[in-house]
Chains A and B, each alone.
Chain A
């Protein structure tokens, strides 16, 4: 997993590109050096041969064949790299340190190349050589050459060492790139996992800083500063919400209490008592709308995240099913529960129960008598799923996104009671749990599902 991801990292790709460029330029440099060195060495050999021929030809002109033979014999004695062979018209050797006229290979220039056998410390070795033929009068031929074994060795060394060093360089580069990417990846992973936690609502988390003081630290420091600011804003908002809750609820409290006080003093029967009672229930509705709004705000701020624990969706669904069973029966609706094994998720049991209760409540409200509402909690390919399906009128596809928005109540349902915040609260609870809320077609009817990844 880690290894596979490594190849997709930016750092690794950069390393590969640079490595390719570097290998290319290093290869070009090596090739140029090789070619140049080879040329220089060849030129040196050729010049030496040229100089010897010049010297020998001078001897020949000055002292004739005898002088030439003497010089050749003398030079052959302590020859080193020099090779000489003077042959007669029938190619029989007259002087020199080569035993016989070798098989010559023409090169492009006036020079020839051949191989000969040389005695090195008691064994015979075939050595390459390069030289020139000099024609004398009377069909005599002089071959002046130099052993180029050393030069060939150097060349071979060069050509064999080059691929190895390139390979070594590439593998070192790749290992270095992998290590570098891994380190970068580790830093990025830290940043990513922390960001995820922060996004999930834990605003107190901060990105880790290393001691290196590098670009990542600068980035992390800046992000941390941004988070500080966001946290301050969120805290401020929370404080405002809390004090609004306090300041608005207290007067509501007093209003309700006064009404209640009046009602207690009135005789139980009578028009006034009924009026006051309806005023009290109006106040209660106001309070519950207000509570729903606060709860949605809280859920969206992710504040309830700290109170999450292991929740069995199946048991939770069963309890809600049981709670609503009599209500459904009274409305002439069959409330069914799909039996399932335990489905564990991490969550806030109270909020999840409330969300499911809202869904069931809605389904019962919008399903005509004789209909059926089915609650299910199961684990399938998509993850843990909690769903409520009915066979009522459903919600048309274009209206579904609107149904989740706050305050929006669909035209068709205006006559039914409810604050319209039911589904919005469900959506907020889903977001808090990083679950997906889906409204789908139950053919006929609506299927609302919360899918926990």
Chain B
């Protein structure tokens, strides 16, 4: 995948670029808004990671200009500003996701992954399947290996999100944001408890376990460990 990173903090940029390259991506970088915009307009990218506060042209302006030129490259904003307001501003300006600094690198990777998948719109699915676990989005029914599983509405949404991102790491923050629509971290790690409940319902008594914990990152659902 081709990526553009626009970040003015030299060390953060080096770390980010190295990390992305290690993960197998092709990365271009820029240290200010103007260079970033020129690069973004001259080459096709799969994803752009842009800091909100940049010299010469700030991140918001950069993305606004990009969108005015008809460029629809998915943009992930990085920002030290964590206010919901700032997030809304970022998304209004044309950003597709917003990540507050400091972030875990796995979180960034997970979000980039999700952004790139969103870019390839699949046919409207009414059924999700991972291994022998099936989720019918119309009847809101879950079955594993033929036997039906009783899920609460929120558990259903949690499982749906995980299954839509099957094979991808999904972080706790991503789950809080998409399943609960909360933009804060509760003091206790409530997500872990919800996951362990869900796990008890879909994995207990079945082989192999589908819902896995990804150390230091989050969770992933996939067929065959």
> Contact residues of A with B, CB < 8 Å?
242, 245-246, 249-250, 252-258, 260-261, 263, 268, 277, 280, 283, 287-288, 291, 294-295, 298, 303-304, 306-307, 319, 322-324, 326-327, 330, 348, 350-351, 353-354, 357-358, 361, 364-365, 418-419, 422
- Given contacts A250-B101, A253-B102, A327-B193, is CB(A304)–CB(B184) below 8 Å? no
Q: List 24 A-B contacts (CB under 8 A).
A: A245-B81, A249-B80, A250-B80, A250-B102, A252-B101, A253-B103, A254-B9, A254-B102, A256-B102, A257-B105, A258-B15, A283-B102, A295-B82, A303-B83, A306-B85, A307-B85, A323-B186, A326-B193, A350-B183, A353-B184, A354-B184, A357-B184, A357-B187, A361-B187
Task: Give chain B residues whose Cβ lies under 8 Å from the Cβ of A283.
Answer: 102
Task: Give chain B residues whose Cβ lies under 8 Å from the Cβ of A291.
Answer: 82
Q: Which applies to chain A's interface (DSSP): helix, strand, loop or mixed?
A: helix
- Tell me, rounded to whole Å, the shortest Cβ–Cβ distance linking B78 to chain A: 9
B188 within 8 A of A: yes
Q: Which applies to chain B's interface (DSSP): helix, strand, loop or mixed?
A: loop
- Given contacts A326-B190, A418-B187, is CB(A253)–CB(B101) below 8 Å? yes
Task: Give chain B residues whose Cβ lies under 8 Å from the Cβ of A257.
Answer: 12, 15, 19, 102, 105
Q: Identify the closest chain B residue to A304 (Cβ).
A: B85
B215 within 8 A of A: yes
From residue 127 to 164 of chain B, which have CB atoms closer than 8 A to chain A? Answer: 154
- Contact residues on B (Cβ < 8 Å of other chain), bracket: 20 to 34
Q: How far is the CA of A418 from the CA of B15 in the complex (A)?
A: 31
CB pair A326–B197 under 8 Å, yes or no, is yes
> Contact residues of B with A, CB < 8 Å?
9, 11-12, 15, 19, 53, 80-85, 88, 101-106, 154, 180, 182-188, 190, 193-194, 197, 215-216
Task: Give chain A residues whose Cβ lies under 8 Å from the Cβ of B180.
Answer: 319, 323
CB pair A254–B11 under 8 Å, yes or no, is yes
Task: Give chain A residues whose Cβ lies under 8 Å from the Cβ of B85.
Answer: 303-304, 306-307
In the A-B complex, the 6 residue pairs with the smallest Cβ-Cβ separation, listed nearest first, are A253-B102, A246-B80, A326-B193, A249-B80, A354-B184, A361-B187
- Given contacts A253-B102, A291-B82, A326-B194, is CB(A307)–CB(B186) below 8 Å? no
Task: Give chain B residues whose Cβ lies under 8 Å from the Cβ of A354.
Answer: 182, 184, 186
- Given contacts A249-B101, A253-B101, is CB(A277)–CB(B186) below 8 Å? no
* 8 Å CB contact of B193 from A319, A330, A350: A330
CB pair B53–A246 under 8 Å, yes or no, is yes
Which of A348, A353, A419 is the most central at the interface, judged by chain B CB atoms within 10 Å of its CB? A353
Task: Give chain B residues whose Cβ lies under 8 Å from the Cβ of A365.
Answer: 188
- Tell me, rounded to whole Å, the shortest Cβ–Cβ distance linking A260 to chain B: 5
CB pair A304–B182 under 8 Å, yes or no, is no
Q: How far is the CA of A324 from the CA of B216 in the complex (A)?
A: 23
Beyond A258-B15, A357-B182, list 5 extra A-B contacts (CB 8 Å): A246-B80, A250-B80, A254-B9, A280-B216, A323-B180
Q: How far is the CA of A260 from the CA of B183 in the complex (A)?
A: 23
